[in-house]
Every structure is written in C-alpha cells, then in structure tokens.
Amino acid sequence: MSHAYILTLSCPDRPGIVHAVSGFLFERGGNIEEAAQYNDHDTGLFFMRVRFACGQLTPDDLKLQLKAFAEPFRMDWRLHAGDQPMRTVICVSREGHCLNDLLFRWKSGLLALDIRAIVSNHRDFYQLAASYNVPFHHVAVTAATKPQAEAKLLEVIEAEGAELVVLARYMQILSDDLCRKLAGRAINIHHSFLPSFKGAKPYYQAHDRGVKLIGATAHYVTAALDEGPIIEQDVARVDHGYTVEDLTAAGRDTESVVLARAVKWHSEHRVLLNGHKTVIFR
Ligand SMILES: Nc1nc2c(c(=O)[nH]1)N[C@@H](CN(C=O)c1ccc(C(=O)N[C@@H](CCC(=O)O)C(=O)O)cc1)CN2
C-alpha cells in the first residue's frame, strides 16, 4: 500500500544533497511529486521540502532508514504524513472575523485541518462554534487567574492532540513557559505590518502615525511579544480621512487572508524555521 509523505529538512549546504535525497527515495520505490529547495548564503544552510509517495517500506522502517541517511549530512529532518488533516485548536477573544474566516475555509475544504476545539476568554462565539459542531471552551482570564487559565488552555490543547494552535485575535499574552511548549506550532495574527506597531492597539498607533498603508502579520508565537518568525504579511491602502474605527474595519479582510495563508502553508508543512526567520515553499 502506497503512503503519501512530506519530508522537510535543513542542513549545512554542500553539493549533491538533492541528488542524495532523490536517490534515497528512488532506491526505495519513492515517487517524487513535488520538490523545492533553498540555499541561505548568509548562514550556509540548505532547506528542502519533498512530497512523495512510497509503498515499499512501512512508515517506521522509512523513518529508521532516513535517520541513518540523514546522519552524515547533519540534517534536521521531519517526515510527515502527506494526507492527514492537521489537528488544530483555535483561540479567540472578542474579534471574530479571523475565526469565522478559518471555519468557513475549513468547511469549504480549503484548509487541511481537523479543528478540534475553540478556546476563548469570552463567550461571544460559542454559537458560531456550535454552528460548525466544534467544541467551545470558555476560559475566562484575569490578572489573578492567568496561570490557571493557561493551564486549562494547555489541557485542551493536549487533550485534543493539537499539532497547531492558532491565535485568531486572541488578546492574551502567553507565558514564556507556554511559548516554549508551543514552539513552532502556535501562529498569531498581529493586526499591523510588523515590526511596526507591536503590542496592543496597533490601529491606534497607526492612526496616530498617519500611515497610508495598514497591514497584518502572521507569525509564530514566541516569548518576545510579536517578534516571532514571520510567516506571511500583507497591506491595504488607507488615507488621512480614516478614523481608528475605519482602519480597524479596513484591516479585517487583510488579517483574515494573511492568517488563512499562514495556516494553510503551515498545515501543508511548507514553512521551515530558519533562525528567527522562515523559509516558505509555497
Ligand atoms: N507570548 C506571546 N503571546 C502573544 C503573542 C506573542 O507574540 N507572544 N501575540 C499576541 C497577540 N497580540 C497582538 O497581536 C497581543 C495580545 C494581547 C496584548 C496585551 O497587552 N494583552 C493584555 C491583556 C489585554 C486584555 O485583557 O484585553 C495582557 O495579556 O496582559 C498585546 C498583544 C497574543 N499573545
């Protein structure tokens, strides 16, 4: 029986890596369906993503043989199932446009996700969750209860076996400890074109600055607020006549599209971490 896989890797660059990887797969009956690679000349690192089918080996045997193959290249590699929807938990506060957009795209078959739960520190979207038959967990957060609230959030993430956590306008700062636990698998949508206007209320900051473009940034969540590796960004034109409310309204579509792109690429294992940056094989 043929299995679909996605292999992602990074390693010190040297001639012959693509040849070696394609030869390794060919010798095991692998059929490459998509491949991409990138050399970072600043760091001397090589990145590759290969989607392939293989029926000769069991997944466990393939992983064992990959481990031996990767060793001499000092590869940091991951082998993913190529046809499994990604188990996902979405967090939201009071702005629901990104959540609504992700749910609709998911139900329309545009996102290879298995949305297991929605967690919110408000009750605004329990009916929206119910309309998609997604369990909704209200986890209130106050300064005094923040540790307990985070423990509950982590409990839901672990109980659902979530591979991905999406902060879809979730307006709570995650602790350093939770950021470590979710490293590389929590995506936030920040409602500005980072690095401009980090932190809370970026549209107020943008209005005060008199910007002519607003933007949105999807990034991995790290302990350094809104400084995680950027996955996707986009902008929209505004002018002097826009109030803060106008900027906020104009930004919603950009935020939703940027987050959806980032979630799609992450769920397809197209995003590789490159230090504090990303490599994206779109
Ligand atoms: N550890 C991290 N946590 C979060 C990140 C991050 O990058 N690292 N991104 C934010 C999202 N965000 C802007 O996009 C943001 C959210 C919340 C705040 C903030 O000051 N929150 C206050 C409480 C606000 C409230 O109760 O309404 C706080 O947590 O004390 C700033 C930026 C998501 N989390």
Query: Domain range for residue 70?
Result: 3-81
Strand, helix or coil for residue 176: helix
- Does residue 153 share a domain with residue 22? no
Amino acid identity, position 194? L
With beta carbons less than 8 A apart as the criterion, state whether 82 and 39 touch: no
The last residue of a domain, from among 53, 81, 109 = 81
- Does residue 100 share a domain with residue 71? no
Using the mean position of ligand 1's atoms as its centre, give its distance from the Cα of residue 161 in Å: 24
- Does residue 154 share a domain with residue 18? no
- Does residue 273 share a domain with residue 170? yes
Rounded to whole angstroms, how far apart are CA atoms 238 and 50?
40
What are the strands, taking DSSP E only, across 104-156? 113-120, 136-138
* CB of 171 closer than 6 angstroms to any ligand 1 atom: yes
Task: For the full predicted model, state whether its pTM sits above 0.90.
Answer: yes
pLDDT, residue 24, reads: 98
Using the mean position of ligand 1's atoms as its centre, give its distance from the Cα of residue 86 in Å: 25
Active site residue 42: no
Using the mean position of ligand 1's atoms as its centre, give its distance from the Cα of residue 178 in Å: 13
ipTM above 0.90, yes or no: yes
Q: How many domains does the chain have?
A: 2
Q: Does 159 score more than 90 pLDDT? A: yes
Nearest CA to ligand 1 atom 27: 171
The enclosing domain of 47 has a CATH number of 3.30.70.260
Nearest CA to ligand 1 atom 21: 172
Rounded to whole angstroms, how far apart are CA atoms 233 and 212?
16
Omega prior to 195 cis, within 30 of 0:
yes
| Length of the chain measured in residues | 282
Average pLDDT over the chain reads 97
* Dihedral of alpha carbons 90, 91, 92, 98, sign: negative
